[in-house]
Amino acid sequence: MNSEEILKWKEAGKLARNALNFGKTLIQNRASMLDVTESIENFVIEKNGELAFPTNLAVNNVGAHWTPSTKSKEIFHTGDVVKLDVGVHIEGYIGDNALTVEIGSDKYSKMIEASREALNTAIEIASPGVNVGIIGQAVQDTIEGYGYRPIANLTGHGIKRYNLHSGVSIPSIRERGGSVLKSGDVVAIEPFVTDGAGRVGGKRNSNIYHLRQVRKIRDEKATKLMMEIQDRYHGLPFAERWLHSIQDDATKSLQKLIRSGVVSYYPILDELGKGIVTQSEHTIMITSSGVEVLTA
């Protein structure tokens, strides 16, 4: 990787962190989830970044994957445990980071700390030549040390330019036969912690979509939307909210694209034991001597 590329990874990481910290201050009792999300996304755009994926808000038993739609009326409440996950890209170089806030109470502060400490431990261990299974082991040990469970089927992931989930995955549990980190790898590490079953799943629509394929469809407006989605998002996830600036009545075209298999939605991932979930995430770069935290 050349020094120009490294600078862009760093720039994206920095903006992702600033947007996350800004967003954290907005998450308050009675605040509208749609307003908070739009404020964070406008913050990124005003600073000449782009969204690598729709800003995710996952509240209480939701582990991951939800963003408000244009019509969302949800507000935050005191006691909510909120995972805020923000992704920024600059020319395709992505910074992905997340934190957890509990609004106006501290019933789950230890669980929040557990995810943060598990992330710190993972970053301490990560360096070239390290098997990701070793990281998973350390993450699991840290979380269990707090008396909680890691979520086994949510993992960290390699990141490449315009590719949010590339190749390597970083488990939060002990695992054999994983890949080995090497210098130049960019990876997001994101331990999820719960007092529930330790697994997530579900089918509900998260309002987060991705383009599966580009193909010939008969509807002209839907075709136009499909091409715009391809041009603007480069295969990265997108929100229903974003489409209304492209086309009037974008909802109708979106429905057509879903029906014809061009676009799919990501499901909301609920904790399967109805546990509370916390998360911490950084994007890091593996260097010749160790790591650099890009979203610091």
Cite the active site residues. 85, 96, 157, 165, 190, 281
The phi, psi pair for 16, rounded to 5°, reads: -60, -40
Length of the chain: 296
Nearer to Mn ion by C-beta: 158 or 275? 158
Q: Is 85 in the site for Mn ion (CB under 5 A)?
A: yes
Q: Is 294 in the site for Mn ion (CB under 5 A)?
A: no
In the region spanning residues 90 to 109, those forming contacts with Mn ion, defined by CB under 5 A, are 96, 98
Nearer to Mn ion by C-beta: 52 or 143? 52
Q: Is 188 in the site for Mn ion (CB under 5 A)?
A: yes
Binding site annotation covers 282?
A: no
The answer to whether the beta carbons of residues 88 and 16 sit under 8 Å apart is yes
Nearer to Mn ion by C-beta: 72 or 166? 166
Nearer to Mn ion by C-beta: 96 or 102? 96
Select from 42-50, 142-150, 219-227, 276-284 the region that touches Mn ion (CB under 5 A). Answer: 276-284
What's the CA gap between 101 and 78, in Å, rounded?
11
| Total Cβ atoms within 10 A of residue 163 | 15
CB of 187 to Mn ion, least distance (A): 9
Q: Is 185 in the site for Mn ion (CB under 5 A)?
A: no
What's the CA gap between 130 and 153, in Å, rounded?
21
The answer to whether the beta carbons of residues 256 and 219 sit under 8 Å apart is yes
CB of 56 to Mn ion, least distance (A): 7
Binding site annotation covers 244?
A: no
CB of 201 to Mn ion, least distance (A): 18
Q: From its phi and psi, is residue 32 left (phi > 0), alpha (psi between -120 and 50) or beta?
A: beta
Binding site annotation covers 157?
A: yes
The answer to whether the beta carbons of residues 238 and 209 sit under 8 Å apart is yes
Helices (H) and strands (E) in the chain, counts: 7, 17
In the region spanning residues 202 to 261, those forming contacts with Mn ion, defined by CB under 5 A, are none
What is the DSSP-derived secondary structure letter of residue 218?
Answer: S
CB of 114 to Mn ion, least distance (A): 18
Binding site annotation covers 165?
A: yes
Helix axes 33-46, 3-26, angle to 10 degrees: 150
CB of 90 to Mn ion, least distance (A): 16
What's the CA gap between 199 and 18, in Å, rounded?
30
In the region spanning residues 98 to 157, those forming contacts with Mn ion, defined by CB under 5 A, are 98
In the region spanning residues 50 to 69, those forming contacts with Mn ion, defined by CB under 5 A, are none
Nearer to Mn ion by C-beta: 41 or 281? 281
Binding site annotation covers 65?
A: yes
The rounded Cα 278 to chain-centroid distance in angstroms is: 13
What's the CA gap between 196 and 183, in Å, rounded?
36
Cα distances (angstroms) measured from residue 170 to each of 13, 161, 195? 19, 18, 21
Binding residues for a divalent metal cation: 85, 96, 157, 190, 281
Binding residues for substrate: 65, 165
- Footprint on this chain of Mn ion (rule: CB under 5 A): 85, 96, 98, 188, 281
Binding residues: 65, 85, 96, 157, 165, 190, 281
